[in-house]
Amino acid sequence: MSTTPHPTPTVAPAPAHGLPLMLAMVIPAQLLAITGIIGGAVQPHIAQHFHTTEIAWFSLASALVTLVSVPFAMKFADIYGKRRVMLLLAVAGLAGDVVAALAPSYPVLLAGRMITGLYGPVVALIHAAVREYFPPRRIATAYGVVTGSIGVITLAGPPATGRLVDAHGWRGGMWLLAGLTAFAALMIWRMPETRRRGRFGADFDWAGGLLLGAGVALIVFGVGRGNGHGWTALQTCGPILAGLAALACFVPVELRAARPVVDVRMLSRRPVATVIAAAAFAQFAFVISPAILSFLAQFPHIPGVSDSFGWSTTHYALVGIPAGVATVAAGLAAGALLRRHPPRALWLAGTTVLICGLLLFSQFHGSAGEVIVSGVVTGLGGGTVMACGTAMIVSVITARHQASVNGMAYLLLQVVGGISYQVLFTVLSTHRSIVHGTAFYRDQAFTNGYYFLAALGAVGLLVSLFMPRMRRLADAADDPDDGR
């Protein structure tokens, strides 16, 4: 059975309403970054509260659901409109935040985090919607506001989170996240609807969506069990092999599908494949770096057991302010440069600086002063990398493929992130001590963790060298939907 699509008017807002709409998109676009900040602050407290060594699942639980839901969300957004799909996903994410905040046990908290994972596709949809909401001459400015806001979030988020967590414990941080998710849903509700393409019918690619979502989720799930069960155990290898088999079946299914949920032919194009791969590795290296610092800063200092500082959450946040300022400055500068220059050279410079910052962290993290200096360098590189990521995608595709490629890019980021997050905790666990069910880390663990993140950034830089020459953002946005 199929339904007739409803016609919709042109969705580009009047210029007078351009800036308010850009600002309304900031919190929905950056909610996962906010989740990373709040999650990084509360995870040490949650680990000690529930006496668990499996704190990595705090992030992996939501990532698994996101991986399954992204293919369907991107397709439904084309059929029913991005605003409608984003609003439903945001409301579902809010329900998950409430469950997590009220959780009486760690398994219940993980259940809430799994529901929260339904919000994940909103980030990819927001970035795809920018190109539909604004005329070509304002695309660069819109992306600068929406993506560059990561610096403001990085600057303002930790102090606010720190005060709440110090005053009300980890649940205070989780309720803050729930409130921000509710605000994001309100902002989405106030946005105009986007143009609808296609229709829902018998030819909908259910098989492709299920194979892709289940395949990547099984791989991440299997990797997540490696640290606890061993990397050669059936509990680890079984899901990984099943996931690889599902992905192997996914490719021929998509090539035959009349309306594929993901156009895998796009990945055969060098510009698309190299851009989304480079962004996945380099951006994740930056986004996850605060997780190491959170455990370094907030776990107690126990001679012979834990080499952490034992700072309060507020102190940890205040030490991070210079890095937040650097991230803001880099994001603003990158946004200004992207209006006049192609993103490739700026991306290469930002990725290089990011790697240098992570290597600095690996050697200099023994005091507040060293953390500040290393954090500033990392923030300069990270702010540039985050500002350039979406700009590179826009520069190599047309508007018709924006949502699809954004979905693929976000999906790959989640796959790289889910696997690398678990590997990171495996690296940390080689120098840990377990006391009363909580894993505490020695200094070498933090050093190795930053080495690992620098290696991820280096992979992104290496892939970047194979990216082709790119156009300016304004030139790419002016191109018609020519089917490229």
Find the helix packing angle between 57-80 and 82-102, rounded to 10°.
160
Q: Is the pLDDT of residue 11 over 60?
A: no
What pLDDT digit, counting tens, does each position of 213-236 carry? 788 778 878 877 776 677 788 888
CA 96 to chain centre: 18
Q: Look at the alpha carbons of 339, 342, 345, 348 in this order and tell me if their dihedral is positive or negative.
A: positive
Contact 479, 458 (CB under 8 A): no
Q: Quick one: average pLDDT of 313-335?
A: 87
Work out the percent of the chain whose per-residue pLDDT is above 70. Answer: 88
Identify which of 182, 160, 149, 147 has the alpha carbon closest to the alpha carbon of residue 38.
160
Which ranges of 257-299 would DSSP assign to H, the alpha helix? 270-298
**Which region among 36-50, 142-156, 354-368 has the lowest average model confidence (pLDDT)?**
142-156
Q: Which residue has the higher pLDDT, 422 or 180?
A: 180
C-alpha Rg value of the chain to the nearest Å: 21
Specify the pLDDT at position 398.
66
Which pLDDT band, with edges at 50, 70 and 90, does 4 fall under? very low
Q: CA-CA-CA-CA torsion for 57, 59, 61, 62, nearest 10 degrees?
A: 170
pLDDT in tens, 449-472: 999 999 999 999 999 999 888 766
